[in-house]
Amino acid sequence: MATLSDIGFAAAINILTAFAFFIAFAILRLQPVNDRVYFPKWYIKGLRSSPIKTGGFASKFVNLDFRSYVRFLNWMPQALRMPEPELIDHAGLDSVVYLRIYLLGLKIFFPIACIAFTVMVPVNWTNSTLDQLKNLTFSDIDKLSISNIPTGSSRFWVHLCMAYFITFWTCFVLQREYKNVGSMRLQFLASEQRRPDQFTVLVRNIPPDPDESVSELVEHFFKVNHPDYYLSYQAVYNANKLSELVQKRKKLQNWLDYYQNKHSRNPSKRPVIKIGFLGCWGEEVDAIDHYVEKIEGLTRKITAEKETVISSTKSLVPAAFVSFKRRWGAVVCSQTQQSRNPTEWLTEWAPEPRDIYWDNLALPYVQLTIRRLVIAVAFFFLTFFFMIPIAFVQTLANIEGIEKAVPFLKPLIEVKTVKSFIQGFLPGIALKIFLIVLPSILMLMSKFEGFISKSALERRCASRYYMFQFINVFLCSIIAGTALQQLNSFLNQSATEIPKTIGVSIPMKATFFITYIMVDGWAGVAGEILRLKPLIIYHLKNFFLVKTEKDREEAMDPGTIGFNTGEPQIQLYFILGLVYAAVSPILLPFILVFFGLAYVVYRHQIINVYNQEYESAGAFWPDVHRRVVIALIVSQLLLMGLLSTKRAARSTPLLFILPVLTIGFHKFCKGRYQPVFVRYPLQDAMVKDTLERTREPNLNLKPFLQNAYAHPVFKAADNLANEMVVEEPEPNRTPDLVATKRGSKRLLYSGSAETLT
């Protein structure tokens, strides 16, 4: 068992790592050459231009203004300064709601930590159970936990009261937050500009008809059944082949660019290639001419293919985007059942055009059921067999295990620093590395399941990732052994035994989770702000590939918040905090630091870096709420198990009330607040319609909605056609930039400050 000094050492390491990251970040972000890595959001918004054009040669790459290095943490107050409404404008509601998850953590755990430290810690500390058990090694940390209270003591009533306080406080905060987010969402939807998805409904599973094509069918069906509101429709095409061609052309274009680049650096010699297998042998030709020719051919092919796709009825998918004259009509159509057969003519509110995941629009209903079943089974196996390698590494990370396995390393391991390092660091890192692989697998699974919008895909991934983390990180860290072993032992244990088994181990694992929080939470978050991977990739690309301003723009990779991995990680901290709040309150400060730090860092990243891929107007909040409620119930059950082994049996019935109340609370919230995240109220649609008609009585929506939901490949193909085959290289061309409000990094928020004053 790790002692207090081990923990202190690990804390020191992690704090130093975090600080190192912060300092590195502070230095790197001030260099103009990194500007596009650390402020890509502003470039994408067109509010910032390349700093390279101004100043001397050195100042193009290195910031020589030493004053700016002094206040190396000044990005923190800057990150906090932008007010919420402006942030919604700047980065979308999703980002703001995402930040509220961190705030939720602070709101829940700060009062709980205060009370735990003023009440629980003295109650636990002033016992001497652990002192009496001479044969057990224990650390001072354990003296702060519930382990230090003798079995059958009446002091457990304090823990019981604490459990009640935690439950009521958490529910109170959750309810208020659900309400706030719900009204933010409604306000956001109401204040929005006219957008195509407000008028559009996605229709899927259009039944085949021998006499009519899908397009005719859609038109007839909606003209008959929504006669007063139907406006137009947009067919969905199966554009896989076209997509392939466009991809292929892009690759060729890259090669062409490469050779043109080469040629422009050394104009005297035109590059040549061999056109045989893999470019290794065969006839030698002029590379630029070769690629120009190939691209020309492909572009013609693409245009032809596009016409085939649009004109042929075979490439029509049994789905369509149907637009209505008013929002009211779209809302009505999306919320009602159209046909007798509830698996045909399925309507739902269309996601934003950029949010649509096109590949899944054509899946028929039966296939969806089968796919879901298959994925459920696959996920079960993934969860319970993925653990085997992790467990292997974790046993390695055990000091005694390592000494046994590689006895010649014993002298090295016995050195105190190394020992502390291994104990404090390795188990957390091993787990973390394995978890990095997972999200992409989960995303593939979700795609296979047939969700039709990127936001739904990410939400599904998040919920799977959470389950995975709960079983494989939380449970498996508390009780040693693989998930499979545990599943087996749980199946062979009684329902009352399971919470006891887990509950008893909880206080003993506090130190492990403290190190985990420091590695994964503190250092991890600090690493997030440094953006080491995008930094390296950007500079590599910049050095080898970038020629034009457009290329440079493509080279910068702002990334997104990454809801599918970020949210489950936060949820792990919620569950740790709630479970340990009444058991070992020493964990709470570490969690609070995590939430605070992460809030600042992610707020900074959202303002300066991340570029949102879609806007779901906070549609993920019900998931967040539900998972915190689950964490609360788990914490109650585990405390029940723990107390019942401590012979505080009289308190068990009182604890049993808590999960029942919590479930009741959840049902209430689900009915009261969830519909806002799923449906759009008729009243709001009517208000917006009326306003619009008053302002613009002669509004013609048809052109506005014409091509809103065209497949992105068509747009790409159209662009190609407009580009007129091949661009001539223009290395000195300056892109048309929007006049920027913000030139210097030091004046970064002057714009927002102006708007404020």
- Selected from 430, 676, 705, 710, the binder of a copy of itself by CB under 8 A is 676
Asked if 104 touches a copy of itself (CB under 8 A), the answer is no
Asked if 367 touches a copy of itself (CB under 8 A), the answer is no
Stretch that binds a copy of itself, among 104-112, 366-374, 401-409, 604-612 (CB under 8 A): 366-374
Query: Min. distance of Cβ 222 from a copy of itself in angstroms?
Result: 10
Asked if 660 touches a copy of itself (CB under 8 A), the answer is yes
As given in the structure block, the two tokens for residue 288 are 């630029």
Please give the Cα distance from 347 to 202 (Å, whole number): 6
Contact positions with a copy of itself (CB under 8 A) in 160-199: 186
Stretch that binds a copy of itself, among 545-553, 655-663, 718-726, 742-750 (CB under 8 A): 655-663
The number of beta carbons lying within 10 Å of the beta carbon of residue 46 is 14
Output phi, psi for 615, to 5 deg.
-130, 110
Query: Min. distance of Cβ 337 from a copy of itself in angstroms?
Result: 5
Residue 453 is given by DSSP the state B
Asked if 437 touches a copy of itself (CB under 8 A), the answer is no
What ranges make up the beta strands (E) of 130-223? 200-204
Asked if 682 touches a copy of itself (CB under 8 A), the answer is yes
> What are the angstrom distances between the C-alpha of 19 and each of 14, 22, 424, 598?
8, 5, 18, 14
Asked if 734 touches a copy of itself (CB under 8 A), the answer is no
Stretch that binds a copy of itself, among 60-68, 258-266, 370-378, 586-594 (CB under 8 A): 370-378
The number of beta carbons lying within 10 Å of the beta carbon of residue 277 is 8
Q: Give me the DSSP letters along 209-262.
A: -SSS-HHHHHHHHHHHHSTTTEEEEEEEE--HHHHHHHHHHHHHHHHHHHHHHH
Query: Min. distance of Cβ 371 from a copy of itself in angstroms?
Result: 11
- Selected from 56, 193, 211, 224, the binder of a copy of itself by CB under 8 A is 224
As given in the structure block, the two tokens for residue 282 are 């065969």
Nearest to 119 by CA among 67, 81, 161, 63: 161
Select 29 or 464, whichever has its Cβ closest to a copy of itself: 464
Please give the Cα distance from 570 to 564 (Å, whole number): 11
Select 183 or 264, whichever has its Cβ closest to a copy of itself: 183
Asked if 693 touches a copy of itself (CB under 8 A), the answer is no
Please give the Cα distance from 547 to 636 (Å, whole number): 60
**Would you say the C-alpha torsion 213, 214, 215, 218 has a positive or negative sign?**
positive
- Selected from 492, 698, 722, 757, the binder of a copy of itself by CB under 8 A is 492
Contact positions with a copy of itself (CB under 8 A) in 377-396: 377
Residues contacting 38, CB < 8 A, separation 6+: 25, 28, 29, 531, 608, 609
Select 153 or 489, whichever has its Cβ closest to a copy of itself: 489
Residues contacting 149, CB < 8 A, separation 6+: 123, 124, 127, 129, 155, 156, 646
* Helix 156-191 vs helix 652-673: crossing angle, to nearest 10: 0
Stretch that binds a copy of itself, among 17-25, 277-285, 443-451, 665-673 (CB under 8 A): 665-673
Asked if 135 touches a copy of itself (CB under 8 A), the answer is no
Stretch that binds a copy of itself, among 279-287, 403-411, 538-546, 683-691 (CB under 8 A): 683-691
As given in the structure block, the two tokens for residue 139 are 């650390």
Contact 116, 585 (CB under 8 A): yes
Please give the Cα distance from 38 to 604 (Å, whole number): 10
Asked if 554 touches a copy of itself (CB under 8 A), the answer is no
Stretch that binds a copy of itself, among 150-158, 327-335, 572-580, 701-709 (CB under 8 A): 327-335
Contact 652, 644 (CB under 8 A): yes
Select 1 or 376, whichever has its Cβ closest to a copy of itself: 376
- Selected from 67, 265, 314, 340, the binder of a copy of itself by CB under 8 A is 340
Query: Min. distance of Cβ 457 from a copy of itself in angstroms?
Result: 20
Which residue reads 């509110």 in tokens?
A: 349
Rule CB under 8 A: which residues touch a copy of itself? 186, 224-226, 228, 331-332, 335-343, 345, 365-366, 369-370, 372-373, 377, 490-497, 660-661, 663-664, 667-668, 671-676, 679-684, 686
